[in-house]
Copies of this chain bind each other. A is one copy, B any other.
Amino acid sequence: MSESLELGAVQKEGIGRLRAMFGEKLSSAAAVLEQHSHDESHHAPASPDVVLFAESTEDVVNCVHVCRDYQIPVVPFGVGTSLEGHVQALRGGVSLDMSRMSRILRVSEEDMDCTVEAGVTRRQLADHLKPRGLFFPVDPGADATLGGMAATGASGTTTVRYGAMREVVLSLKVVLPNGEVIETARRARKTSAGYDLTRLFIGSEGTLGIVTELSLRLFGIPESTLTAIVQFDDLHAAISAVSHIIQLGVRVARIELLDRAAVSAVNKHSGLSLAPNHLLLFEFHGSPKSVTDDAEATLGVMTEFGGSDWESTTDQGERTRLWRARHDAAWAVRAAYPGGQLFITDVCVPISQLANTIEATHSDLAEHDLFGPIIGHVGDGNFHVVCVVPPNDSAELRKIQAFNERLITRALAVGGTCTGEHGIGLGKISHLHRELGESAVDVMRAIKSAIDPQNIMNPGKVTTNGR
């Protein structure tokens, strides 16, 4: 099943050195290699030769020094929740598992920021911050590591209000391919000091270096949180209503769309009884007064655009149940095909183009007899089509791939991007070229070659780097 290539004699010697250096922190047990050979996507697994469970930045530095000297690929691994084959060890080498680097190093309530190791997960951080009245907003759904979220430039349901990783990471500690350690910035709230290395490493998917620590902006847990749902018969009307809310500047913390197919899957999987209709799911953050005002303003617009059956709640249990259902939507879809593999595409278009793009996608799905519920962070113009590849069904896989091509072509044609938040990985390299053109990708390649001249950092991802 694995596609990993045989390492040469030099690299094998290097692996021997790593073994001697790291002892039990290094594993080549079959189950461990298998676990580190894939993410949650449909992309074929590719196994590393060994997995190093790093426990400190020093471990990472020592590993990278050996890998540099022996030209061994290094592929960082968080918890493997990425969706474009980011962690596949295409050329073997070391999978650098960051999960043991899970210390929360510092929280400042006064500065509303913190510093964490790269293996800290989103929920772990939330639990740690909650008693301090703080939260970290970026929520891609999965309980990903913060390091992985930085590496893939994650965003998710709250981006419309709080921004993506790009906006809330203050600084990164990075081990470079030459083994040197840098901090990309101070933790001041803003800076104009030199090139923006923080943003360069965010979204670089492990191809330029290994993130070992992050300083993050935090926010105060809102005094009040209100969740609301509203139904639409007409998808176009639902999206026009969202667009109107954004134009009015109503403060919404989350605006999610589940189309009729997604609602149906979620009902079955999560035991809900939502009406079989297109659904918008809102969250408002603020004072009890302001969330009520914001919700009322939203309700007015929704009604005007034909929305019905508005329901709202500030009850924590009910809110959690709704958002859990939203987050489980992909699993709900997968449940339709036991043993199947998720194939979740991800495009983002200007919001003026969103309704037409989703409608064309619905037609395309129907025409090609594909099952693909749509869920979207519609306030940002970002949506996913959740497909499932049944076990060993390569014909269906090809059908979904062809659909994905058409979807991306459609998004690019209206000024959109081939990925709003999942990243390029190994799945979208050709689309990156289509999106930005050769000259722009050449700039990325020049940066890659300048920082990682031996191409040892997650080779074969983002840009092909001409090799």
Residues of A whose CB lies within 8 Å of any CB of B are 108-113, 152-155, 159, 163-164, 166-167, 176, 180-197, 199-200, 202-204, 208, 219-220, 222, 243, 246-249, 251, 286-287, 289-290, 293, 348-352, 380-382, 412, 415-424, 428, 431-432, 435-437, 439-444, 446-451, 462-463
Q: Which 4 A-B pairs have the closest CB atoms?
A: A199-B199, A450-B450, A191-B417, A446-B450
| CA A146 to CA B243, docked complex, whole Å | 27
Whether the Cβ atoms of A195 and B204 lie closer than 8 Å is yes
Residue of B200, B293, B451 near A199 (CB, 8 A) is B200
Residues of B within 8 A of A286 (CB): 249
Whether the Cβ atoms of A193 and B419 lie closer than 8 Å is yes
Residues of B within 8 A of A412 (CB): 186
| CA A418 to CA B249, docked complex, whole Å | 35
Q: A350 — nearest CB in chain B belongs to which residue?
A: B111
Whether the Cβ atoms of B352 and A424 lie closer than 8 Å is no
Whether the Cβ atoms of A443 and B182 lie closer than 8 Å is yes
| CA A465 to CA B382, docked complex, whole Å | 40
With contacts A188-B416, A199-B199, A349-B188 taken as known, whether A193 is within 8 angstroms of B428 at the C-beta atoms is yes
Q: A445 — nearest CB in chain B belongs to which residue?
A: B450
Q: A209 — nearest CB in chain B belongs to which residue?
A: B443
Q: Contacts A112-B246, A197-B436 given; 13 further ones with Cβ under 8 A?
A: A112-B247, A153-B196, A167-B167, A182-B436, A182-B443, A186-B435, A187-B350, A189-B350, A192-B423, A193-B435, A194-B203, A287-B293, A447-B450
Counting chain B CB atoms within 10 Å of each CB, which of A181, A200, A349, A422 scores highest? A200
Residues of B within 8 A of A419 (CB): 191-193
Q: A440 — nearest CB in chain B belongs to which residue?
A: B182
CB distance from A418 to the nearest CB of B (A): 6
Residues of B within 8 A of A382 (CB): 188-190
| CA A321 to CA B365, docked complex, whole Å | 58
| CA A424 to CA B190, docked complex, whole Å | 14
Residues of B within 8 A of A111 (CB): 350-352
With contacts A352-B111, A451-B443 taken as known, whether A194 is within 8 angstroms of B424 at the C-beta atoms is yes
CB distance from A317 to the nearest CB of B (A): 24
| CA A187 to CA B350, docked complex, whole Å | 7
Whether the Cβ atoms of A421 and B192 lie closer than 8 Å is yes
Whether the Cβ atoms of A186 and B443 lie closer than 8 Å is no
Whether the Cβ atoms of A439 and B200 lie closer than 8 Å is no
Residues of B within 8 A of A437 (CB): 182-183
Whether the Cβ atoms of A164 and B176 lie closer than 8 Å is no
With contacts A188-B416, A188-B417, A293-B290 taken as known, whether A451 is within 8 angstroms of B440 at the C-beta atoms is no
| CA A419 to CA B166, docked complex, whole Å | 20
CB distance from A149 to the nearest CB of B (A): 11
Q: A249 — nearest CB in chain B belongs to which residue?
A: B220
With contacts A190-B155, A350-B113, A436-B185 taken as known, whether A167 is within 8 angstroms of B163 at the C-beta atoms is yes
Whether the Cβ atoms of A194 and B432 lie closer than 8 Å is yes
With contacts A112-B246, A439-B176 taken as known, whether A203 is within 8 angstroms of B192 at the C-beta atoms is yes
Whether the Cβ atoms of A436 and B194 lie closer than 8 Å is yes
Whether the Cβ atoms of A192 and B439 lie closer than 8 Å is no
Whether the Cβ atoms of B350 and A439 lie closer than 8 Å is no
Q: A429 — nearest CB in chain B belongs to which residue?
A: B194
Q: A287 — nearest CB in chain B belongs to which residue?
A: B293
Whether the Cβ atoms of B194 and A222 lie closer than 8 Å is no
Whether the Cβ atoms of B450 and A449 lie closer than 8 Å is yes
Residues of B within 8 A of A421 (CB): 190, 192
Residues of B within 8 A of A381 (CB): 188-189
Whether the Cβ atoms of A190 and B443 lie closer than 8 Å is no
With contacts A220-B248, A439-B180 taken as known, whether A416 is within 8 angstroms of B186 at the C-beta atoms is yes
Whether the Cβ atoms of B192 and A153 lie closer than 8 Å is yes
Counting chain B CB atoms within 10 Å of each CB, which of A189, A432, A446 scores highest? A189
Q: A163 — nearest CB in chain B belongs to which residue?
A: B167
